[in-house]
Amino acid sequence: MRILSIVLLLVLPPLSQAKNVVLFVGDGMGISTITAARIFAGQQRGRSGEEHQLSFDKFEHVALVKTYNTDAQVPDSAGTITAILSGRKTRMGVLGVNADVPRQDCAKALNNELPSIVELAEDAGLATGLVTTTRITHATPAGAYAHTPDRNWEDDSELPAAAAALGCRDIARQLVEFAHGNGIDVLFGGGRGNFLPDDTADPEYGDKNGRRQDGRNLIEEWQAAAANRHYVWNQQQFSALRAQPGHQWLGLFEPNHLQFEFDRKQDAAGEPSLRDMTRLAIQQLKHNKKGYLLLVEAGRIDHAHHFGNAYRALLDTVALDAAVAQAVSMVDLRNTLVLVTADHSHTLTISGYPRRGNPIMGKVEGPDPLGQTELPAYTTLGYANGPGYKDGYPDLEDVDTTDPNYRQIAAVPLPIETHGGEDVAAFATGFKAENVRGVMEQNELFDVLAAALFP
């Protein structure tokens, strides 16, 4: 019997041909953000911090990724996610269209669309899911389903009349009218306002209305378009969801972006964590026998950096780390690729000569170990530009730089800190993870995803 079963194992193909991909994008999660978040997470556990390992620090395959857009040295999220999901670099600010399309050129956009890997997966009968902490119509998730010459056309109030007349559709409408396979199966994020008419009050914030001017309630339209579609908008409803074959979920937990992880506990209606959304999404998508593709975005690392607030950026990175660990614990790495990357970097730096174990949010204090200077304290973390600029040498004597609301010093005064242009990292484990190696163009990540999903 034993020999027979061994022989059978050798000659029979594996029981399941399903191939799966879980793609994590830390928006704006440059390498300095990863290093700082790693130390932060280790120090949260009462350790020195530098030796700590994030879940994806343990992945076997790593590459550096070149993030530039075709027309920009330092890129934005629209051009970069198009590269990752469609396999072609394109211009800054456009989504799902090629580099021939100037920003806002509707006519050109209509004739130069690029299919995304989410569309290809749906066409092939796989299950697909999008999980994000931003509006579900924001650049990174929209890269999965939208084709538009302007990432800001998220609802029809943003769409110029001339573009609408030519046939360009706003991004929320493109999501609800998505015409591949049976539609994206799991959608968790924010952005209710872009789906509700401007005479309809938001369920969580009664004093806030929807943003749509065409009178359409896209949430109701999405629900009505197929059987077994369930819409949820708060923590309680989310917690009641149970994975069932053939069911589809739309969860919109805020009219705008979700809260930062630091602020999430105070949310009135409650918001699920990135880890819980990831867990439930995988439970649901796993029912598809052909396999699945899940995109999980920690979208607000980027926003906190733009505000010059490293604390919230690091906490959202730690939340991503928890979601990655959750996914790895649930999937079979023999048929599932888990890939963690960023779309672009930010200007965060880790500098000075803080002693080992110095609080990562803290100050560099004491004598310079190289004996070159003896200066008053400054923070280990800083930005090259942004709202934290101070005229002259910063006096931090009475400042608690570990306060969650503290804005790190910036060298150049700007109302909003900018992206950074150096390479980001890609970490991979599981099926075909070995394709992640060396220095890669960002659009080559599409080939990595496709090789795992459609072997």
Residues that bind Zn ion in the complex, under the rule CB under 5 A: 302
Q: Do 124 and 290 touch, CB atoms closer than 8 A?
A: yes
Q: How far is the CB of 306 from Zn ion (least distance, A)?
A: 6
Query: Is the CB of 49 or the CB of 420 nearer to Zn ion?
Result: 420
Query: Torsions phi, psi of 258, nearest 5?
Result: -65, 170
Q: How far is the CB of 407 from Zn ion (least distance, A)?
A: 16
Q: How far is the CB of 299 from Zn ion (least distance, A)?
A: 9
Q: How far is the CB of 27 from Zn ion (least distance, A)?
A: 7
Query: Is the CB of 341 or the CB of 401 nearer to Zn ion?
Result: 341
Query: Is the CB of 29 or the CB of 120 nearer to Zn ion?
Result: 29
CA 303, 305, 307 angle in degrees (round to 5)? 75
Q: Which of 55, 77, 86, 345 is catalytic?
A: 77
Q: Tell me the pairing of strands 61-66 and 424-430.
A: antiparallel
**DSSP assignment, residue 241?**
-
Q: Where are the alpha helices (DSSP H) in 112-160?
A: 117-123, 139-142
- CB within 8 Å of 135: residues ≥ 6 apart: 141, 154, 189, 190, 191, 194, 256, 257
Q: Do 50 and 318 touch, CB atoms closer than 8 A?
A: no
In the bound state, the residue with its beta carbon closest to Zn ion is 302
CA atoms within 13 A on the CB side of 360: 29
Provide the phi-psi class of 81: left if phi over 0, else alpha when psi is between -120 and 50, else beta. Answer: alpha
| Separation between Cα atoms, residue 284 and residue 114, nearest integer Å | 28
For 279, the enclosing helix (H) or strand (E) is helix 274-285
Q: How far is the CB of 455 from Zn ion (least distance, A)?
A: 34
Q: Which of 314, 311, 318 is nearest to 408 (CA)?
A: 311
344: its two tokens? 């672009």
Distances (CA, A) of 359 to 49, 120, 137, 348, 406: 9, 46, 37, 16, 14
Query: Is the CB of 155 or the CB of 302 nearer to Zn ion?
Result: 302
Q: How far is the CB of 371 from Zn ion (least distance, A)?
A: 39
- CB within 8 Å of 7: residues ≥ 6 apart: none
Q: Do 23 and 294 touch, CB atoms closer than 8 A?
A: yes
Q: How far is the CB of 344 from Zn ion (least distance, A)?
A: 7
Query: Is the CB of 122 or the CB of 417 nearer to Zn ion?
Result: 417
- Centroid of chain to Cα 445: 15
Q: Do 416 and 387 touch, CB atoms closer than 8 A?
A: yes
The yes-or-no answer on residue 77 being catalytic is yes
Helix, strand, coil content of the chain in percent (nearest 5): 30, 20, 50
Three-class secondary structure of residue 336 per DSSP: strand
Q: How far is the CB of 277 from Zn ion (least distance, A)?
A: 21
Query: Is the CB of 213 or the CB of 256 nearer to Zn ion?
Result: 256
Query: Is the CB of 26 or the CB of 96 nearer to Zn ion?
Result: 26
Query: Is the CB of 302 or the CB of 316 nearer to Zn ion?
Result: 302
Q: Which residues are catalytic?
A: 77
